[in-house]
Structures are given as structure tokens and as C-alpha cells.
């Protein structure tokens, strides 16, 4: 039965991941939820042991992810939906961000997704079914000043998802990459928002951070509605590959694509000038 699908959700102790986990459990599904904060996860999700498996997990550790996936399959017998949700936002200019800071952003937002996907795929492929849902961002389509490392990771998640969809389609596995806009979670005030230690004043980092924090509590997106949408697409025979969520995300991505099309048209002759005669 569809409602008995087993979900593996990263970053399940708060924000979007928490709301999706609650929605799945409320509809009779089963959840293996991961978090770096296991007590917070257990506190925020109260469900029977035969429906909910809390896992303390660092998604940047390949071995830990492999063990977590194995625990999920051992407990529930299968995995049907993988939600790569855990994320980390670093604000800072390209010039100012240290090598360590940039790498951490990529490790969490990109390699965490890769680790979970890589270790889930043998099980999904053996089943000849499954759905991988990767959380990117409207910042995976549009670059913004002082968000370069996050842009780099989230752009990569979209490219990864497009390639993955082609690879796994023959095995009955579906892929959706979601690009949320601003949703009313604690993302911009919690430890998932970091600021580069080095601040080169002319880049306006502090103004950028103040702008982000000013959105807290005023974001247009409802995370419970996002959770309902993700549950809904998990029931579809043919879910979308690309899914912006939120009127702000949809509008900004559409405007960006239209501007790109205009730029391509403007420089078409130059673009076409490099072939052999």
C-alpha cells in the first residue's frame, strides 16, 4: 500500500525535514530520520518504534551513512523514498571565505546528498523501484552575492539530480529536485546559518546577514504545505524532475530563465562564431 512507504529523511529534527517526517507518519508511512542532534529528533517526533527509526548521523561521513542506510533496511525491510534534506548555509564573499569554510559547505550540501544516494541506490535498484527527492534551492538556479559557496553546492545538486534521473530511469527509480524559496522555518536563525569568519567590508556581508535574519518569521512559505506536496509527489507514477516550491522561488527562477534567454539571443552570433568553416 502506498501509505506504508518507508522514507529515509536527512535533517529530520527540525524545519522542512521535521514537517515531512510528521506528515509521512501521520499518513501511516514509516520514517528513518537522521540528525546530528538525536535527542532533539526524539523529542520532536513521538511515534511508535515500528514506524519511526531515529538515527544520529553525520551525512558527511560515508561510513556512517552506509551504516544508517543498512539500519533502515534491517528495521523496515526496504526504502521507498529518500529525502536528501539536510543543509547548511554559509554567508560570505568568495574572496573572504576560507578553504575550510567553502569545503564544509560543499561537504554538507553536496557530498552529504551523494553519500546518501550512493548507499541507497543498491537497495532501490534491487527493488526496481524508489523515489529520490533532493532539496536544492532557488539559489541552485540563481547566484547571489555573498552566497557563492551555497550557490555552488545547490547548483551542483540540480546537475547531479538531472544526471541521476537518466541513470536510474531503467530501474524504475524516480528523481525529483526541489527548489524551495523562503519557508517559515528556523533556517535563517539556527546553526544551519553560518557567517564567514573573515569579513571584507566592501562586500556588504553584514548587510546581507541582517537582510536574511529580517526575513525570519515573515517568510511566505508554509513548511507544512511543502510537506504535503512532497508526500503527494511520492505517490505519483510520473513525478516532476524539477519542482520549484513557493511563489517567490517560482517567480524568481522564471524571471532568471527569461533573462538568460534574452542574453543568449543577444550574443547568439558570437556564440555561433567558433565552429570550423
Active-site amino acid positions: 136, 150, 154
Q: Work out whether the CA dihedral 230, 234, 236, 238 comes out positive or negative.
A: positive
* Angstrom distance (rounded) from CA 179 to CA 243: 6
Contacts of 100 (CB under 8 A, 6+ apart): none
Distance of CA 170 to the CA centre of its chain: 24
Amino acid at each position: 500500500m502506498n501509505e506504508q512507504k518507508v522514507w529515509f529523511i536527512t535533517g529530520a529534527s527540525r524545519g522542512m525535514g521535521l514537517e515531512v517526517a510528521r506528515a509521512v507518519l501521520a499518513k501511516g508511512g514509516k520514517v528513518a530520520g537522521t540528525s546530528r542532534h538525536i535527542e532533539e529528533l526524539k523529542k520532536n517526533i513521538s511515534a511508535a518504534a515500528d514506524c519511526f527509526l531515529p538515527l544520529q548521523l553525520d551525512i558527511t561521513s560515508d561510513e556512517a551513512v552506509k551504516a544508517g542506510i543498512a539500519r533502515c533496511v534491517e528495521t523496515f525491510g526496504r526504502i521507498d523514498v529518500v529525502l536528501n534534506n539536510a543543509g547548511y548555509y554559509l554567508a560570505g564573499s568568495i574572496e573572504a571565505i576560507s578553504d575550510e569554510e567553502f569545503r564544509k559547505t560543499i561537504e554538507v550540501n553536496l557530498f552529504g546528498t551523494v553519500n546518501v544516494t550512493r548507499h541507497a541506490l543498491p537497495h532501490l535498484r534491487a527493488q526496481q523501484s524508489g523515489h529520490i527527492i533532493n532539496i536544492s534551492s532557488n539559489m541552485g538556479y540563481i547566484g547571489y552575492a555573498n552566497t557563492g559557496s551555497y550557490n555552488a553546492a545547490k547548483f551542483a545538486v540540480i546537475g547531479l539530480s538531472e544526471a541521476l534521473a537518466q541513470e536510474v530511469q531503467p530501474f524504475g527509480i524516480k528523481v525529483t529536485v526541489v527548489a524551495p524559496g523562503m519557508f517559515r522555518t528556523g533556517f535563517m536563525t539556527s546553526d544551519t546559518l553560518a557567517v564567514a569568519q573573515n569579513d571584507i567590508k566592501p562586500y556588504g556581508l553584514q548587510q546581507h546577514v541582517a537582510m536574511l535574519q529580517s526575513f525570519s518569521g515573515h517568510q511566505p512559505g508554509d513548511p507544512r504545505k511543502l510537506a504535503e506536496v512532497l508526500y503527494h509527489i511520492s505517490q505519483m507514477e510520473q513525478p516532476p524532475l524539477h519542482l520549484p516550491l513557493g511563489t517567490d522561488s517560482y517567480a524568481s527562477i522564471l524571471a532568471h530563465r527569461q533573462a538568460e534567454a534574452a542574453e543568449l539571443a543577444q550574443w547568439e552570433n558570437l556564440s555561433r562564431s567558433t565552429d570550423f568553416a
